[in-house]
């Protein structure tokens, strides 16, 4: 606070000197910024709603927690009619002990700049896991998609229309105090369902967003993904397709494409034997299709055993995910340094065919990968050298599988510590990438084998691994 105020004083002095602006007194400079009248009116209206709820339920109203997604604030400004103006504030409350303890209130600004409650949604559970605002219908107003957290690892998905929200039916009990239960317009529930994961995207590419709901059968028999969308004035199921048999838990759902910009869902789950299977689902000829399903085994052809840190990724930067297929490369010596893999990456097309588009060496431990030239395949082996403190080296060597020792031709280093800049400049090392704590560098060895790359080529082929690849 002191630093911020000092900076404000310096800035004010500079501005006064350079531009002739009027000086303000120190007391004025120390004052906090005034809140806008609109903010004051909004918070007053929220407080009014909270007081009414506390009278009705004789308890203290709390802010509801939102755990995940892009919308986690307790008050969210939204442009629900997509006219470029954030006309609605959304707030999330929790009422301990109530039958429906979670409430979502929509406060819309009025012509006189006041705020009124124009819609309310209530739900079961202990918290709200995620919230999305998306236009699913043809009404021009966004719908609300809410993940209610019922209990630990148990979630329910609700979709609500805010169009034409209406007051609930009058209570049959007569003589009720008006202050005991304030009635607000309620949203229309379009659907609720249990789910394991979901994705909002225009999967059939008809310029309207659909909702794909993934349900995992913990017994491993009937896992599936079902698609919901707007048809003939209603939000309905458009179809479903089965996922790999044996999937008992969901790792991730990722929306992307297959070849030729065809929308796709990449759904990765863990099988009973701890391997992971990725099902690629698209919309084709009016139905959902699982491109990777092996009809004979009922399991995706894209199944990895023992490589749970390797996930689909866009390794060639063409905005389309590729599927990984690791293979152990030959090693000259046995031991801990023998377990190195190259990864072949294949891209699917809408007809279910796939083609290999790249080969990489991924160093997940050090956070980088290198695109491998085709001429290196079956010609190299890889080793490590961690003998120098705060320096981890991966060494690429030419080796054709004979008894002759491999010939090193390239090393890539991860350098940390206070003297990393000095070590990055040693010998013929050149920098590949750096941040506040780490430098990645490389060097070529003198070698009779021509690897076909120069410094700029290594720079182009070197990439940092994005953390999102392993935790989406």
Q: Mean pLDDT of successive 10-residue segments in the chain (472 residues)?
A: 40 40 49 64 95 94 94 94 93 95 95 92 94 91 96 93 70 46 86 96 94 95 96 94 97 96 97 96 97 97 90 92 91 54 96 96 94 94 92 93 85 97 95 97 96 97 75 38
Tokens of 290: 């699982």
3-class state of residue 155 by DSSP: strand
Distance CA 288, CA 344 (A): 27
Rounded to an integer, what is the distance from CA 82 to the centroid of its chain? 24
Q: Are 158 and 192 a contacting pair, CB within 8 Å? A: yes
CB-based contacts of 30-36 (< 8 A; 24+ apart in sequence): 30/5
Q: In this predicted structure, what is the pLDDT of residue 242?
A: 98
**CA-closest candidate to residue 107, choices 123, 91, 84, 127:** 91
Q: In this predicted structure, what is the pLDDT of residue 424?
A: 96
Q: In this predicted structure, what is the pLDDT of residue 329?
A: 84
| SS3 track for 309-341 | CCCCECCCCCCCCEEEEEEECCCCCCCHHHCCE
Rounded to an integer, what is the distance from CA 373 to the centroid of its chain? 31
What does 54-102 look like in DSSP terms, one character per residue? HHHHTS--EEPPB-SSS---SEEEE-TT-SS---EEEEEEE-TT-SS-E
* Residues in contact with 130: Cβ distance below 8 Å, sequence separation at least 6, in sequence order: 66, 67, 68, 69, 71, 146, 147
Q: Give the chain's domains with CATH numbers.
A: 35-166+184-193 (2.40.128), 195-308 (2.40.128), 309-472 (no CATH)
Distance CA 337, CA 333 (A): 8
- For the whole model, what pTM was predicted? 0.84
Q: In this predicted structure, what is the pLDDT of residue 167?
A: 59
Q: In this predicted structure, what is the pLDDT of residue 152?
A: 86
Q: In this predicted structure, what is the pLDDT of residue 468?
A: 53
Q: In this predicted structure, what is the pLDDT of residue 22?
A: 45
Strand partners, 115: 109
């Amino acid at each position: 606070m002191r630093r911020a105020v000092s900076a404000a004083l310096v800035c004010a002095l500079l501005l006064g000197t350079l531009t002739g602006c009027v000086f303000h007194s120190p007391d004025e400079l120390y004052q906090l910024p005034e809140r806008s009248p609109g903010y004051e009116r909004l918070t007053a209206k929220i407080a009014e709603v909270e007081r009414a709820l506390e009278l009705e339920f004789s308890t203290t109203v709390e802010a509801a927690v939102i755990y995940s997604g892009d919308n986690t604030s307790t008050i969210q400004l939204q442009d629900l009619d997509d006219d470029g103006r954030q006309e609605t504030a959304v707030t999330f409350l929790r009422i301990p002990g109530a039958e429906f303890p979670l409430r979502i209130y929509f406060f819309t600004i009025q012509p006189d700049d006041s705020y009124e409650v124009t819609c309310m949604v209530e739900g079961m559970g202990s918290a709200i896991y995620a919230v999305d605002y998306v236009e699913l219908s043809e009404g021009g107003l966004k719908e609300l998609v809410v993940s209610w957290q019922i209990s630990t690892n148990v979630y329910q998905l609700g979709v609500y229309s805010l169009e034409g929200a209406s007051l609930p039916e009058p209570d049959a009990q007569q003589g009720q105090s008006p202050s005991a239960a304030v009635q607000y317009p309620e949203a229309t529930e379009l659907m609720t369902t249990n789910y394991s994961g979901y994705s909002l995207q225009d999967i059939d590419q008809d310029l309207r967003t659909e909702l794909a709901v993934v349900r995992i059968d913990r017994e491993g028999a009937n896992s599936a993904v079902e698609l919901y969308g707007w048809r003939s004035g209603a939000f309905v199921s458009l179809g479903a397709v089965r996922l790999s048999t044996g999937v008992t838990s969901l790792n991730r759902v990722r929306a992307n494409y297959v070849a030729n910009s065809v929308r796709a869902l990449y759904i990765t789950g863990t099988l009973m034997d701890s391997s992971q299977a990725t099902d690629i689902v698209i919309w084709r000829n009016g139905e959902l299709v699982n491109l990777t399903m092996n009809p004979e085994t009922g399991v995706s052809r894209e199944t990895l055993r023992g490589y749970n840190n390797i996930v689909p990724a866009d390794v060639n930067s063409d905005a389309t995910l590729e599927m990984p297929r690791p293979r152990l490369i030959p090693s000259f010596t046995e031991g801990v340094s023998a377990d190195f893999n190259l990864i072949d990456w294949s891209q699917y097309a809408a007809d279910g065919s796939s083609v290999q588009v790249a080969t990489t060496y991924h160093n997940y431990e050090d956070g980088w990968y290198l695109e491998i030239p085709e001429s290196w395949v079956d010609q190299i082996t890889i080793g490590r050298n961690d003998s120098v403190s705060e320096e981890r080296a991966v060494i690429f060597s030419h080796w054709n599988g004979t008894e002759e020792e491999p010939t090193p031709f390239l090393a890539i280093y991860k350098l940390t510590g206070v003297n990393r800049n000095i070590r990055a400049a040693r010998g013929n090392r050149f920098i590949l990438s750096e941040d506040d704590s780490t430098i990645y560098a490389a060097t070529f060895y003198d070698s009779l084998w021509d690897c076909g790359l120069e410094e700029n080529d290594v720079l182009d082929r070197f990439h940092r691994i994005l953390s999102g690849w392993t935790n989406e």
